Amino acid sequence: MDTFTKKLKKAQNEKGPIRFKKGKADVDPACDPTMKHIAKILKDTPAFHVQVDGHTDNVGNPRATRSSRRKRAEAVVKYLVSKKGVDAKRLSAKGFGDTQPIADNKTEAGRTKNRRVDFTSRKM
C-alpha cells in the first residue's frame, strides 16, 4: 500500500468510517468531517487518481451485495465531487462485494469490519 493510500485510510481511522443510511446508498451526513478531511487530502495531492472501493460482508445475495457496494462507492465519489469540490476525473468507484474480507464473517464484529469503504490510489 502506497503512502497516499495509507493517508486516506488514516483519515477514516482518525475522523471515523464512511457510513451510509441503513439499507441505502446515501452517505450519512454525520460522516461530513471525514469526507471533508479526505477531500482536503485529495485536493492537496493532485497527482493521484483514487478508486473508491466498496466492500461488504458475506450475508445476503452476492450479486445484490456487490451491486450495493458499487452504488455506495459511487455515492462517495458523488459526495466528494458535488459537496466537496473534488475533480471528478480523479475519482472512480468499484464494488467488490464480499470478495475481500479483512475480518471473520462468522461474527458480527467481523462482518461490521468487512462492510467498509477503502481507497486505492495510483499516480496519474
Confidence of residue 8 (pLDDT cuts 50, 70, 90): very high
Determine the average pLDDT of the residues in 17-32. Answer: 88
Mean pLDDT of 97-104: 91
**Is the pLDDT score of 24 beyond 70?**
yes
Q: Among the listed ranges 12-16, 33-37, 63-67, 104-108, which one has the minimum average pLDDT value?
A: 63-67
- The band of 15, judged by pLDDT with boundaries at 50, 70 and 90, is very high
Average pLDDT in the 25-29 region?
92
> Which amino acid makes up residue 5?
T
Torsion of CA 97, 103, 108, 109, to 10 degrees: -130
Task: Measure the CA–CA gap between 124 and 105, rounded to whole angstroms.
Answer: 35
Query: Three-state DSSP class for 84?
Result: coil
pTM of the model: 0.90
The Cα angle at residue 51 between residues 38 and 49, in degrees rounded to 5: 80
Identify the pLDDT of residue 76: 97
- Mean of per-residue pLDDT scores for the chain: 91
Which residues, other chains included, contact 1 with Cβ-Cβ below 8 Å and sequence gap of 6+?
Answer: 9
The pLDDT assigned to 98 comes to 87
Looking at residue 66, what is its pLDDT? 67
The count of other CB atoms within 10 Å of the CB of residue 51 is: 16
Q: Provide the β-strand partners of residue 54.
A: 95, 117
- Name beta bridge partners: 52: 93, 119
* Residue 115, pLDDT above cutoff 90: no
- What is the C-alpha to C-alpha distance for residues 46 and 29, in angstroms, rounded to an integer? 25
